[in-house]
Structure 1
Amino acid sequence: MNAIQYSEYDCEDTGRFLTEACLAKQGFDIRVERAQWSNAGTALIDTGDNCLLRLMLPASSQIKPNCGTFSNGGGRQFQPLGKLLFIPHGTEFHLRHDACEQKALVCVFDPASLGVLGSYRWNWQDSVSEAMLNLQSGYLHASLQRLADEVSSPGFASELQTECLLTSIALDLRREFIDGARSAETRSDHQRKLSPRQLNLLREMLNEGEDENRSLRRLAQACELPVRTLSTRFKNTTGMTLRHYAAQLRLEKAMALLANPRLLVKQVAYQAGFNNAAAFGAAFRKELGVTPEEFRRQRQG
């Protein structure tokens, strides 16, 4: 892809890249691409004046995810890359890979070249974040998957469809990283709130039910915030403490499980994340005013 400067600097084998499908126009170049590295190494990726989005596709053989960072120093460490990552223009991205083969949608585009978006300033420098290395937006994931389908099997007015999708994607990224960061800077710390991405991430981790993922330290690390800041911003956003919110999620899950008559109350308690049936019963009655058994009978009635 001509818009990307890829320079391997840790090993002689620079890897092989095979384009399976592509759709290019002034302002964007989108490809379904296979990459294969026979050795581990590190590479510098410079997108110049363009932004890059990459969505991992099925048929990739990786024992563990590749890693990356926006800085080759300054204390930043290489982070595992998610299925969906974003590299804004004007940044140098360092990729650390293992010997592997992967298939991905690689989308290189210039937001300023997408119709009306040319009237906006696209300065990402003050908003570069490690969150870009593992985007958690279901909307962006779905939009990139649609782009992959469009490139692989072009339909009527594919270029127009692609440009519309990219315009929407660019606006969503801007709201998350440029405008979101700017609005946060204008508020004092005790007034700041969590972003929609952070809220969704917290809900997913709390719903997983694993004690390790529910620890305040792990939640704060995932949101890239200090523990105390996470607690403050969560209450600013939702009006409740993280502990109360987690308890409500457990009870919501328990109420849904109680609709299954084949599950014992004890099984519902453990599956909802309670340590034992007694703690479950006490929490349930305190919040709803009835026992789990009474709630189940009322629902069945």
Structure 2
Amino acid sequence: MHAINYCEYESEHPGDFATEVSLRKRGFDLRVEHAQWSTSGTARIELQNSCLIRMLLSPSGLECNDNSHNLGRFRGQPTQQFKPLGQLLFIPHGTEFHLKHGACQQKSLICLFDPTDLGPLAAYQWDWAGHAHESMLNLRSLYLQASLQRLAEEVCAPGFASELHIECLLTSIALDLRREFLGNQSLNESDGKLSPRQLKLLREILEAGPEEDISLSHLAAICGLPARKLSTLLKNTTGKTLRHYAAEVRMEKAMALLTDQRLLIKQVAYQSGFQNAAAFTAAFRKALGKTPEEFRRQRSS
């Protein structure tokens, strides 16, 4: 998710980029980055599966934060004129951004994030198609500025529970951007089914070991839904209750693990979410009509 396709053109000297500090985890990629262009030029920036928000920082001794050095535009906008970039720039996923830069240096906080990987935000639609607006080139929000400044401080000097703190800040930032540019775009419930992302989250939790909480309330919270709504949407999506769906997911994982001859049956049982080998064998026989050992022998023969 963390890739930026930076295509320099109309310039013989692409920019030099150096990362001062960075933090990358599932759902986000943060870095404090120095950029230097020896000549003016134009570049095309394409994002892969993530949004980008940039905040110019103000280090001493660098020529930066002068918007005459940085202009930008989104492809397909009614006006194709380049506009001055502000201290805060937002590029949503699925858009093509064109940058015109002068010979300059600048230091920035670069924040790449995928809202669908930020906890309960996965339950919402994040379709940015047709929503790119020139106001994204110069976000004028003191709230966003303060939140991004806190992100920069956390990346440069991590403290207690930094990753959790960063995820909370990013969740708040994503919601603020959504309210500003996507309005009341509804939950992925228009067809009465779970979204692909919600179903993926469920499978990941159900495939984990027995130490994972798979209660209805916990799974519903992960999907950002009320417990009763999760049960209804899951039944509409898979045709199964949560109990039967969980059993099916565990059996699929168990069958895949049994093909590895190095694993003991009790290891397969535990990794498939069962408390012991006896419970696993009983459930496996009931589901497939054979024991795990018989299944393994047939597959290896």
Q: Is 1:150–1:162's contact at 8 Å kept on the other side of the alignment?
A: yes
Counterpart of 1:89 (choices 81, 90, 93) is 93
3-state SS of paired residue (1:166): helix
What residue is the counterpart of 1:172 in the other structure?
176
1:151 is the counterpart of 2:163: no
3-state SS of paired residue (2:164): helix
Relative to total residues, which structure has the larger helix share, 1 or 2? 1
Deviates more, 1:136-145 or 1:10-19: 10-19
Normalised to the residue count of structure 2, the TM-score between the two structures is 0.58
How big is each residue's C-alpha offset from its partner over 1:258-287, in whole Å with a ceiling of 9 and x where there is no partner? xxxxxxxxxxxxxxxxxxxxxxxxxxxxxx
How many Å separate the matches in 1 of 2:69 and 2:143? 22
1:134 is the counterpart of 2:138: yes
Amino acid at match of 2:108: A
User: Offset at 1:72?
Assistant: 6.5
How many Å separate the matches in 1 of 2:169 and 2:69? 27
What residue is the counterpart of 1:6 in the other structure?
6
What residue is the counterpart of 2:17 in the other structure?
17
Q: Is 2:69–2:104's contact at 8 Å kept on the other side of the alignment?
A: no
1:66 is the counterpart of 2:70: yes
How big is each residue's C-alpha offset from its partner over 1:84-121, in whole Å with a ceiling of 9 and x where there is no partner? 01000000000000000000000000001100100100
What residue is the counterpart of 2:56 in the other structure?
56
User: Offset at 1:181?
Assistant: 8.9
Q: Is 2:69–2:103's contact at 8 Å kept on the other side of the alignment?
A: no
How many Å separate the matches in 2 of 1:23 and 1:118? 22
Question: RMSD in angstroms over aligned alpha carbons?
Answer: 1.8
Question: How many equivalent residue pairs?
Answer: 182
Amino acid at match of 2:22: C
How many Å separate the matches in 1 of 2:141 and 2:177? 10
User: Offset at 1:75?
Assistant: 3.5
What residue is the counterpart of 2:110 in the other structure?
106
User: Offset at 1:126?
Assistant: 2.8
What residue is the counterpart of 2:26 in the other structure?
26
What residue is the counterpart of 1:47 in the other structure?
47
What residue is the counterpart of 1:272 in the other structure?
none
How many Å separate the matches in 2 of 1:2 and 1:168? 20
Amino acid at match of 1:84: L
3-state SS of paired residue (2:14): coil
Amino acid at match of 1:150: E
User: Offset at 1:15?
Assistant: 0.8
How many Å separate the matches in 2 of 1:113 and 1:165? 14
Q: Is 1:65–1:82's contact at 8 Å kept on the other side of the alignment?
A: no
How many Å separate the matches in 1 of 2:131 and 2:11? 32
- Describe the shift of the 1:181–1:75 C-alpha distance in structure 2 as closer, same or farther (beyond 3 A): farther
How big is each residue's C-alpha offset from its partner over 1:181-203, in whole Å with a ceiling of 9 and x where there is no partner? 99xxxxxxxxxxxxxxxxxxxxx
How many Å separate the matches in 1 of 2:31 and 2:94? 21
3-state SS of paired residue (1:85): strand
User: Offset at 1:180?
Assistant: 6.4
Q: Is 2:22–2:30's contact at 8 Å kept on the other side of the alignment?
A: yes
How many Å separate the matches in 1 of 2:52 and 2:113? 7
How many Å separate the matches in 2 of 1:180 and 1:83? 27
Normalised to the residue count of structure 1, the TM-score between the two structures is 0.58
Amino acid at match of 1:61: E
How many Å separate the matches in 2 of 1:58 and 1:125? 33
Amino acid at match of 1:9: Y
What's the % identity of the aligned pairs? Answer: 58
Q: Is 1:72–1:94's contact at 8 Å kept on the other side of the alignment?
A: no
